[in-house]
Amino acid sequence: MEDVIVVGAGITGLAAARILRRAGLKVKLLEKSRGVGGRLATRRVETPYGTVSVDHGAQYFTCRSDTFRAFLAPLIAQKEVAVWIESVPTLKADGSLEAASAEHRSPRYVCPAGMSTLAKHLAQDLQVLLEHRVQSIAPTDSGHWQVHTENGACEEARAVLLTAPPAQSLVIADDFADDPAFAPASTVDFQPCLALIAGYGPVPPDKLPVALRWEDDPILAWSAVDSSKRLHPVSLTLVLHAQPEFSHQFLEADSELTTGEILHHCAKRLAPYTPLDLAQPEWVQLHRWRYAMPDNPLKENFLAIHTPAPLLMAGCWCAGARVEGAFVSGEAAGRALLQCLDR
């Protein structure tokens, strides 16, 4: 039997498990996908110019809290984490660029080898079972939890931490979803995001802005020259994130048609900044994030009930909607579990 089972091996689950493991507890993470990290996602793409790494999920992270700063310090010293940019300008509807105001200027950090580096570092020395989708949990007569997966496995633990989006966590904990302590979870909505990655030849980005927020645009919310994050880029790569409304409308649409619409729109809007025809990449991939960004994240770091046994919910939808918030939420949940389990 485990002390704690953590459902989800994104940054929240990994940060919590790290706290628990260092305190000597037996911890197991169950992750539905084939890798750790969640939206700390990096793809490796084979191109005629070599293998390129592209971040198609979280684009960067900030560092404002002491706990996250302490975690990042050795990674910065080892150059596994580096400052990418200090601010992100806005592409206005009229085509002009607006610089970020002074209060919105702060270092944006990335992992030069890819954002998944952060998750892999957190996952070191942790027991993670991949491709284990949790279906439900149920209390035992001995005051523990049984955790059931879709592949028929059954795990038992003294406590459970759910780090999936709230809609999914509430389904897993269905018998306890009506508990008043979990009521705030049902108020959080997630927006989808279509993420497009496009590769071009070994050409310089010219005047192409490294990163842009797109204001009042019907299709795009974000663009980035992803290759600018790499120590030795072999070719130009772009990452484009669609607006929530567009993403929702085209989430199940034909990939080729959706990709073409996004690329042609991007090429038209960014034509003043590059002679390159951005509508004609050498390769392109589309990823659908169904739970990309919480609309109204909670201020609490986590939610918890303690009867019949400790059951916590945490994630990027707590403590802010960013990478740092997800980490802070996980560490806070981990420390709370230590107290619950008298460690």
Q: What is the pLDDT of residues 51-89, one digit of tens each?
A: 999 999 999 999 999 999 999 999 999 999 999 999 999
Q: What is the pLDDT of residue 163?
A: 98
Tell me: domain 2-37+123-188+298-340, CATH 3.20.20.370, correct? no
Q: Where in the chain is the domain with CATH 3.50.50.60?
A: 2-37+123-188+298-340
- Quick: pLDDT tens for 171-188: 999 999 999 999 999 999
All residues at 6 or more sequence positions from 151 whose CB lies less than 8 Å from its CB, including other chains = 131, 132, 133
Distance CA 318, CA 330 (A): 9
Asked if 261 and 249 count as a contact pair (C-beta separation under 8 A), the reply is: no
Q: Is the peptide bond before 244 cis (omega within 30 degrees of 0)?
A: no
How sure is the predictor about 159, in pLDDT bands with cuts at 50, 70 and 90?
A: very high
Q: Does residue 249 have a pLDDT over 80?
A: yes
State the pairing for strand pair 190-199/283-294: antiparallel
Cα distances (Å, whole numbers) of residue 175 to 6, 138, 169, 179: 18, 8, 11, 9
Q: What is the pTM of this model?
A: 0.94
Residues of the chain with CATH 3.90.660.10: 43-114+190-294
CATH number assigned to the domain covering 43-114+190-294:
3.90.660.10
